[in-house]
Every structure is written in C-alpha cells, then in structure tokens.
Amino acid sequence: MCLQYLWQKFTRRKRRQMTSKVITREVAVGTWVRRAMVDFFAAFQLEDLSHLRLFFYHQGIEKLCKALLIGTHADQFADLDDDQTMKWIDTFARSLKHDLADMIDQVVSDDPQLQSFAFDKGLITVLMKGYQEGRYPTPSSKSLWRNPGLEGFAGTDLDEKAYQLGFKLLERLNKRFDLEFSLKEVPSGAKPKDWERFCNIWNLRGGRR
C-alpha cells in the first residue's frame, strides 16, 4: 500500500510537471524575438539621433542572435520545469555577454544556412563601439556620439545594413523554428500608426538585398 501510494504521488507530480510546462522552445525564442523588435522600433523612433540608434540596433541584433542560440540548444531545457527553464535561459544568455561579433560567429557555425549571408564586419564593429559608448561614455573627440558620420556610415546606409541583418536573422528564426512570427501585434506603449510605419520600413529596407 505504501509503495502504491508513493508511485501514485510520483506519477501525479510528473503529470503536473508535464502539463504545467509553459516555456517551450517556441515560447522562449518568441519572447526574445519580440523584445528584439521593440529595440528596432526604439531605434526607428530615434531617426534624428543616429548615435543613439546604434545602441538599440546592437540590442535588437544581439537578442535575435541569442534567440537563435537559445533555440539551437533548447534540448537542454526540454525536460526542465518552467522555473528551471528560466534559470537556464538566463544563465545561458548571460554567458554569451554582449560581444556581437562573437555571437555572430557562433550563430553562423551552428547554422550552415547563414554561412552564405555576407555579414558586414564594418557594421558590427560600429554597432559594438556605439553600444559600449552608450553604456560607458568617454570624453573623446573620436567618440561616435560626437561624430555624425559614424566612421564612414551615412545615416541611411547604417539603417539599411542594420535592418538587413535583423531581417535576415528573423527570417532564419522563422524558418528554422517554424515560428511564423508576425509584426501585426503592436507592442504595449507603441502608437499603432508609428508601429505601422516602422513595419513598412522594416520590410522595405530589411527585405532589400
């Protein structure tokens, strides 16, 4: 009787764990993708401040890269409960830090389909520099925050390349993990008309090769 009781208790607990699993690979990846798109939207809202857009472009592309890497290693949290899954994702994402060039390398090595895409090293260097300056401002005449030319990148050229990189990563996320992520959902706090303008520009610039 005692063994039967323990077995029933164990199976009930396992059923609860299985049915309460909310954070699947699709949910985890989708969360990072949505936050990435909000970062791109923030950059769009700062269209007259090119030096500030660098920070948010970096953040958006970083989150898309981390979404790809989290999705790639999702088997490591498939059997964990939600609390353990959140801890795993947090630890994993933090371990990647903020080195965009290194993350791009990891994403490409994990996904042969991305190896043919021409990643612009100059863009990645500028984004990393802008991100660092956004976090740790320094009084230098060479600062990107003082240089409207952004080391040879014209404002529209910078936007075009950042959108193309983000668009390619999102396109790959949708195909690889069958996300079917849509931009139709307006983020909390965003004005629908502004979001619609952003989506149009995202598809126009990002889809251009």
Domain count, the chain: 1
Residue 53 included in any domain: yes
Separation of alpha carbons 34 and 26, rounded Å: 12
Residue 8 included in any domain: no
Residue 53: how many other CB atoms lie within 10 Å = 24
Separation of alpha carbons 162 and 131, rounded Å: 14
Structure tokens at 32: 């990072």
Residue 11 included in any domain: no
pLDDT tens-place string over residues 2-58: 655 555 555 555 555 555 679 999 999 999 999 999 999 999 998 777 778 889 999
Domain interval for residue 44: 27-206
pLDDT surpassing 90 at residue 87: yes
pTM over cut 0.95? no
Confidence of residue 107 (pLDDT cuts 50, 70, 90): very high
CB distance 206 to 164 below 8 Å: yes
In whole angstroms, how far apart are CA 45 and each of 27, 117, 140, 166, 172?
A: 27, 28, 26, 17, 25
Among all chains, which residue has been given the structure tokens 């699709």? 26
Residue 4 included in any domain: no
Q: What is the pLDDT of residue 102?
A: 96
Residue 18 included in any domain: no
Average pLDDT, rounded, for the chain = 85
Residue 14 included in any domain: no
Among all chains, which residue has been given the structure tokens 């949505």? 34
Residue 126 included in any domain: yes
Residue 185: how many other CB atoms lie within 10 Å = 11
Separation of alpha carbons 98 and 132, rounded Å: 9
pLDDT tens-place string over residues 161-182: 999 999 999 999 999 998 878 8
Structure tokens at 162: 């950042």
CB distance 106 to 69 below 8 Å: yes
Residue 124 included in any domain: yes
